[in-house]
Amino acid sequence: MAKLYFKYGAMGSSKTANALITKFNYEERGMKVWLIKPALDTRDGVSAVRSRIGLSAEADAIAPETDLYEAFARMEGCHVIIADECQFFTAAQIDQLRKIVDTMDVPVLCFGLRTDFLTHLFEGSRRLFEVADSITEIKTICTCGKKAIVNARIDENGKIVTEGGQILLGGNDSYVAMCHSCWKTAIAKQNGSER
């Protein structure tokens, strides 16, 4: 029985590396994988998925208006779907992935962030928390050693950003994973107040 999986973590938790290793494991067993990512994510090119540790693969870039159920129904012989940066998919697209699992008995593994730089859920992540069969956290740590849960956005001077749009593509130059306590303390220090 196929399932819809959501594997989430903060920035730097090796989500993409895990997605690409999972892809390799399926392909090593002779299975066909449909690797997808939101078209919004162009950091590594339009059709590439690349991890910080150097793993990479070609992927289909999915526009927000793409119906994933209809696109998958036209494919032949695909055994599994792996979605990277799934937080950027629409709620409707997550529902389409759910429908693939339910009606075609094909497993779907989604990898992505839970929350944005202000700790608010992304649309795709919210829907996955609502409808996924399996939810697993991929853990990473803050510089203090505690579990990191915040994707702190930083500016060019390393200061924490607390305003702006939900989506700003970036890597280590724009984000740092922090525990909630360190994040709040850093913001308070920037504002000249104690926490």
Name the active-site residue from 28, 85, 163, 194: 85
Strand segments (E) across the chain = 4-8, 33-38, 48-50, 56-58, 60-62, 80-84, 108-112, 134-137, 150-153, 175-178
Q: Does 194 participate in catalysis according to the annotation?
A: no
Contacts of residue 111, Cβ cutoff 8 Å, sequence gap at least 6: 7, 8, 15, 16, 18, 19, 82, 83, 84, 85, 86, 138
Cross-strand bridge partners of residue 160: 154
Q: Which residues are catalytic?
A: 85
